Amino acid sequence: MNKKSLIEKYQYLENTHQPRAALFHDLSGFGKCSLTVALPILSAAGVEASCIPTAVLSTHTGGFEGYTFRDLTEDLPAFLAHWKELGFEFDAVYSGYLGSPEQAEILEAFVETQKPETLFFVDPVMGDFGSLYPGFDDGMVRAMRKLIGKADLILPNMTEASLLLGIPYQEPPYSEEYVNKIVRELAAVGPQFVILTGIGLEEGQTGAAVYDSAADQVDFIETEQLPGSFHGTGDVFSSLVLAGLMNGKPLTEAVRIAVDLTAEAIARTIVRKRPAREGVDFEGVLPQLIERLGHSE
Ligand code: PXL
């Protein structure tokens, strides 16, 4: 193919815009989570992803001992001042694991430099199974509670939802009534959309409750519950939801794709008998993501 025909091939892109997201997460060198998951998923979805690393670790903190942890809080003001000077604009700002509570304020100030339509997509990463992740304390809970007041959409699990609301953590299973109450209380703090993760209304099912406060509607999107608990699945799920939204999918469809593909990644990992702390084979489901987003040629 000569140059001219390639230009012709892509002529349909004229006057279209490649969606662009800023990813505010840690970089854990080993143990697929945060940036090492968000970046490939969004890239596969055709989204231009820029990274704001909150911390650099040798591994994530769930299931490994002796990891290194470099908090990048001190670097962030100059890092973001440089971006501001260059005038970069994003269609979405996606935050996850913060290196310190102070980073919530830095992030909030960064979001304020963006256009009003920028989607502020917050995964309030703090804990799971009723406990905070190592190194996090009440200061992080307070910072995250304030941060979600500015978010458009949040994706907590039940541990994080309970911490954000300052209520005791309840063990599953959850009644529909309890889930409805939690998502409404979270939306009252600020975000229009609340996606509560790890929710299965029936035995053997898991998925997410999706609440749109403007419509005051809760949708339950579920799949088969697979055995075990694998690290980084929350980050895989959130990144898949954002990938769908940034490709113009309605929220419930984006969550349907995320629920299905997270389960597929877990199933591949189970069959290969991989250790839970090493994360899931999300790489193997990227072709399905591309197909479901309508990008395959
Ligand atoms: O997947 C959440 C996460 C992200 N980043 C780091 C973590 C965790 C959960 O343990 O340790 C560093």
Q: Across the chain, what does the average pLDDT equal?
A: 97
Nearest CA to ligand 1 atom 12: 60
Q: Which atom of ligand 1 is nearest to the CA of 133?
A: 10
Nearest to 70 by CA among 61, 51, 57, 52: 57
Q: Which atom of ligand 1 is nearest to the CA of 62?
A: 10
Write out the two tokens for 146: 């304030």
Nearest CA to ligand 1 atom 7: 60
What is the biggest distance separating any 2 CA atoms in the chain, rounded to whole angstroms?
A: 65
Q: Is 60 in the pocket of ligand 1 (CB under 6 A)?
A: yes
pLDDT for the residue 141: 98
* Sign of the CA dihedral running 285, 286, 287, 293: positive
pLDDT for the residue 128: 97
Dump pLDDT digits (tens) for 191-207.
999 999 999 999 999 99
Amino acid of residue 167: I
Map out the domains of the chain as residue ranges: 19-292
Write out the two tokens for 195: 């996606």
Dump pLDDT digits (tens) for 66-94.
999 999 999 999 999 999 999 999 999 99
> Which CATH number fits the domain 19-292, given the four candidates 3.40.50.10790, 2.60.40.10, 3.40.1190.20, 3.40.50.300?
3.40.1190.20
Nearest to 98 by CA among 49, 168, 147: 147
Asked whether 183 and 157 are in contact (CB, 8 A), the reply is: no
The answer to whether residue 277 scores a pLDDT higher than 70 is: yes
Helix (H, G, I), strand (E, B) or coil at 257: helix
